[in-house]
A and B are shown apart, each in its own frame.
Chain A
Amino acid sequence: MPRTTSSTPRLSEADGRFLRAVTRVLVTPASYDAARIDVVANLERLIERANDANRANVLRLVRWCRRIACVYGGPLLPARAARSKIIAVQKLARALSSLCLLAFWGDEAALSLIDAPDRTS
């Protein structure tokens, strides 16, 4: 039988540091500290369980965002790129925000912030 090989890529340590910093910008520091959610561990969990196509898309997105982040203030990328005139950059920033927010708010610990909204301010 003809055979081909494949491997399962993962987030690097630099990716992890970048994603943690971005999430801290997207969620208030108070909420971030109160919920004690490890966004990178959650992202690893998402990626591990994702199908091949989604996993590849996520890793490609993180790689591209890290590349352009130096132009848009590093972890401030979601806020600054959203005001960019380049549509592709706006979309990239939005996709990165979605990913980080999914990893944060998808954690059950985040639901306690929702049911007690006064703790998030």
Chain B
Amino acid sequence: MIRQITPSMRRHLYSASSAPWRELEWSCWDACVIGSGPGGSVAAASLAQAGKRVLLVERGAFRPVDDLNFSVLDMAMRLGQVDLTAGGRTTLHSGRVLGGGSMIFGAVAMQPPSHVFDEWAESSAITGLSGDLLSPHYKYVGDVLSVTRQTARQENRANAIVRLMAAAMGQEDGLELAERYTAGCRGTGLCTLGCGFDLKGTMVNSFLPLGLETGNLTILTECEAVALETEPAREGLRAVALHVVLRGSQDAVAVRLRIRARRFISASGSLPTSALLMRSRLRPSTCPGGRVSLQPHGIVHAVFDEPVTYRGVRDNGRHLPMNGVPAIYNFTGLLKQRSYYWFASSVHPSSLAAYTAHLPPDEHRLIMERFHYTSSVTVTLRDNPERSCIVLRRDAPQLDFLESARDCEALRRCFLDAARALLEVGARQVFLPMLQPPHITSARDLLTITAAYMSCDRLTLYSDHTSGGNALGVDRRYGVTDLSGRVHGTTNVHVADASLFPSACGVAPSWTIMAFARMIALNLAGTP
């Protein structure tokens, strides 16, 4: 069910320019939640519903529904943020707007397979950490966001190619239609621009209105968390205030505030949460920022003789590509065997153009001329980097990582499988996400993939599923946070985002983030 932030709710939603500074500084909130993505919104709404006075701070601005449209030029670079890992090895995408990552995700609802929870329980030494623990929270979140399983009828041509590829690999049983947060999706395939129809389940049309309607939730946008102010307590460090900077996009001035609360819940994602804890000087009580997983994506493109995407339609005078995204297949068979999954990505011409920008201009022009004949398969690796940690560069977080040899070989295997399967189902030419991609038009050319040097430096990978940094652990030897999300060595600092994950979850992480956030919030509210 799609909810909306009504005009009366907006009385509790402030921007940098409208914030009542003095009132905010004088108040002492029951909880201050940092970040309004899936974790922060669910935690804030759950606490507000339990009767707690909550202040939610978000670095980005509020974009109301009538501010969203399908124009790439209006929306690209507006809702999200693009960062580079150290040395420019990989691109990281994150949300920077009220609603966080939910505004730019594909609305895919997935739960990690049971073996992932088994691994997490083992690495964190937390007994009882399992999918069953989260199942009531998965259900609640699923109900609020109208999670629906897609049907084969909604399959588009690009998805059909993935199904054919699976059959060519003898893996057809390993495919599973994904569930999505979409009550009435019209299949534009432009979810990452923020759904202009407002039919995608985001935090702005689900949990934030739920929290605001209680009257207990106040939201402050264009507000960047700088550091927590702590003081020693008997059981460890106790946070007494959060220092923030308020700055609107057009404002020439920034205002610094000190926000007091009884509990602080950081849910702004792996990098910002780790950076906040690092800037708050919680060491040596805890060491945030380690064991980060990228779960990188690489897009393999292939040109066919038959059309793969649909022609656009006119909608209110606007030309929409309408390539459809409903039937996304989760390649669970491969996830278990080889630690990666595939899905068909339907793209706008501008995203196809940008994702193939590494090709030589003549090949690029060919792929754009054959836009309707080009299929894109996104390959996602469940990685286990050799080195990955978050470092502060001029107080801003940067991910310093080095992929492991095993990950490089998995990627090679991935590209080989994808290219071979695409050729078997009729692709005329396959384009790999490599800076100097090999020319692949026949099975003989696959040898070039076997011989290619694999390194993230040479690949055009990106990640919007970064996780870890403040992993769960029974004590500080195993991780940074306990099962209630509390940071070890502190009494009232909690984490409720993907940085809790001890390793990559292997699937789209939003549903799991929300389930954890609700469990943590209900524990804090005393109503588990």
**Residues of A in contact with B (beta carbons under 8 Å apart):** 1-8, 25-28, 42, 45-47, 49-55, 57-58, 78-79, 82-83, 87-88, 90-91, 94-95, 97-98, 101-108, 110-112, 114-115, 117, 120-121
Nearest Cβ in chain A — how far from B65, in angstroms?
17
Q: Are B73 and A26 in contact (CB under 8 A)?
A: no
- Give the distance in Å from the alpha carbon of A18 to the alpha carbon of B293 in the complex: 38
Give the dominant DSSP class at A's interface: helix
Q: Are A53 and B349 in contact (CB under 8 A)?
A: no
Nearest Cβ in chain A — how far from B411, in angstroms?
17
- Give the distance in Å from the alpha carbon of A42 to the alpha carbon of B312 in the complex: 22
- Give the distance in Å from the alpha carbon of A92 to the alpha carbon of B368 in the complex: 21
- Give the distance in Å from the alpha carbon of A117 to the alpha carbon of B256 in the complex: 54
Q: Are B82 and A90 in contact (CB under 8 A)?
A: no
- Name the interface residues of B239-297: CB closer than 8 Å to any CB of A: 247, 249-257
25 of the cross-chain contacts (CB-CB < 8 Å) are: A2-B255, A4-B253, A4-B254, A26-B361, A49-B73, A49-B74, A50-B77, A51-B61, A51-B81, A51-B97, A51-B249, A52-B249, A90-B436, A102-B76, A104-B353, A105-B348, A105-B349, A105-B354, A105-B368, A106-B348, A108-B71, A111-B319, A112-B319, A120-B365, A121-B369
The chain B residue sitting closest to A54, CB to CB, is B77
Q: Are B82 and A108 in contact (CB under 8 A)?
A: no
- Give the distance in Å from the alpha carbon of A4 to the alpha carbon of B226 in the complex: 15
Decide: A27 near B249, CB < 8 A? Known: A1-B21, A82-B358, A87-B435. Answer: no
Q: Are B255 and A1 in contact (CB under 8 A)?
A: yes
Chain A CB within 10 Å — which of B78, B81, B368 has the most?
Answer: B368
Taking a contact as CB atoms closer than 8 A, the residue among A2, A102, A115 that contacts B354 in the complex is A102
B357 near A: Cβ within 8 Å?
A: yes
**Residues of B in contact with A (beta carbons under 8 Å apart):** 21, 60-61, 71-78, 81-83, 88, 96-97, 247, 249-257, 311-312, 318-319, 321, 348-350, 352-354, 357-358, 360-361, 364-365, 368-372, 435-436, 457-458, 460
Q: Are A101 and B350 in contact (CB under 8 A)?
A: yes
Q: Are B256 and A105 in contact (CB under 8 A)?
A: no
- Give the distance in Å from the alpha carbon of A111 to the alpha carbon of B41 in the complex: 37
Q: Are A115 and B358 in contact (CB under 8 A)?
A: no
The chain A residue sitting closest to B256, CB to CB, is A2
Number of cross-chain contacts by CB at 8 Å: 142
Taking a contact as CB atoms closer than 8 A, the residue among B71, B83, B354 that contacts A101 in the complex is B354
Q: Are B96 and A53 in contact (CB under 8 A)?
A: yes
Decide: A98 near B354, CB < 8 A? Known: A27-B365, A114-B371. Answer: yes
Chain A CB within 10 Å — which of B73, B349, B435, B457 has the most?
Answer: B73
Taking a contact as CB atoms closer than 8 A, the residue among A47, A101, A108 that contacts B318 in the complex is A108
Chain A CB within 10 Å — which of B77, B82, B360, B365 has the most?
Answer: B77
Residues of chain A contacted by B312 (CB below 8 angstroms): 111, 114-115
Q: Are B360 and A82 in contact (CB under 8 A)?
A: yes
Q: Are A101 and B353 in contact (CB under 8 A)?
A: yes
The chain A residue sitting closest to B370, CB to CB, is A117
Q: Are A90 and B350 in contact (CB under 8 A)?
A: no
The chain A residue sitting closest to B460, CB to CB, is A94
Q: Are B255 and A3 in contact (CB under 8 A)?
A: yes
Q: Are B96 and A51 in contact (CB under 8 A)?
A: yes
Nearest Cβ in chain A — how far from B481, in angstroms?
27
The chain B residue sitting closest to A92, CB to CB, is B88
- Give the distance in Å from the alpha carbon of A7 to the alpha carbon of B252 in the complex: 6
Q: Are A6 and B361 in contact (CB under 8 A)?
A: no
Q: Are B361 and A25 in contact (CB under 8 A)?
A: yes
Give the dominant DSSP class at B's interface: mixed
- Give the distance in Å from the alpha carbon of A8 to the alpha carbon of B247 in the complex: 13
Nearest Cβ in chain A — how far from B305, in angstroms?
14
Q: Are A120 and B78 in contact (CB under 8 A)?
A: no
Q: Are B357 and A97 in contact (CB under 8 A)?
A: yes
Residues of chain A contacted by B82 (CB below 8 angstroms): 54, 57
Nearest Cβ in chain A — how far from B254, in angstroms?
5
Taking a contact as CB atoms closer than 8 A, the residue among B257, B348, B436 that contacts A82 in the complex is B436
Residues of chain A contacted by B368 (CB below 8 angstroms): 27, 105, 114, 120
Q: Are A90 and B435 in contact (CB under 8 A)?
A: yes
Chain A CB within 10 Å — which of B83, B97, B350 has the most?
Answer: B350
Decide: A79 near B361, CB < 8 A? Known: A45-B73, A102-B72. Answer: yes
The chain B residue sitting closest to A95, CB to CB, is B357
- Give the distance in Å from the alpha carbon of A102 to the alpha carbon of B256 in the complex: 36
Residues of chain A contacted by B369 (CB below 8 angstroms): 117, 120-121
Q: Are A87 and B78 in contact (CB under 8 A)?
A: no
The chain A residue sitting closest to B253, CB to CB, is A3
Residues of chain B contacted by A54 (CB below 8 angstroms): 77, 81-82
- Give the distance in Å from the alpha carbon of A82 to the alpha carbon of B372 in the complex: 26
Decide: A107 near B73, CB < 8 A? Known: A25-B361, A78-B361, A91-B88. Answer: yes
Residues of chain B contacted by A78 (CB below 8 angstroms): 357, 361
Taking a contact as CB atoms closer than 8 A, the residue among B60, B88, B460 that contacts A88 in the complex is B88
Nearest Cβ in chain B — how far from A15, in angstroms?
17
Residues of chain A contacted by B457 (CB below 8 angstroms): 87
Residues of chain B contacted by A27 (CB below 8 angstroms): 365, 368
Q: Are B349 and A114 in contact (CB under 8 A)?
A: yes
Residues of chain B contacted by A42 (CB below 8 angstroms): 73
Decide: A98 near B357, CB < 8 A? Known: A3-B255, A121-B369. Answer: yes
Nearest Cβ in chain B — how far from A107, in angstroms?
7
The chain A residue sitting closest to B455, CB to CB, is A87
Q: Are A102 and B353 in contact (CB under 8 A)?
A: yes
- Give the distance in Å from the alpha carbon of A51 to the alpha carbon of B436 in the complex: 31
- Give the distance in Å from the alpha carbon of A111 to the alpha carbon of B458 in the complex: 31
Q: Are A101 and B357 in contact (CB under 8 A)?
A: yes
Q: Are A79 and B360 in contact (CB under 8 A)?
A: yes
Nearest Cβ in chain A — how far from B82, in angstroms?
6
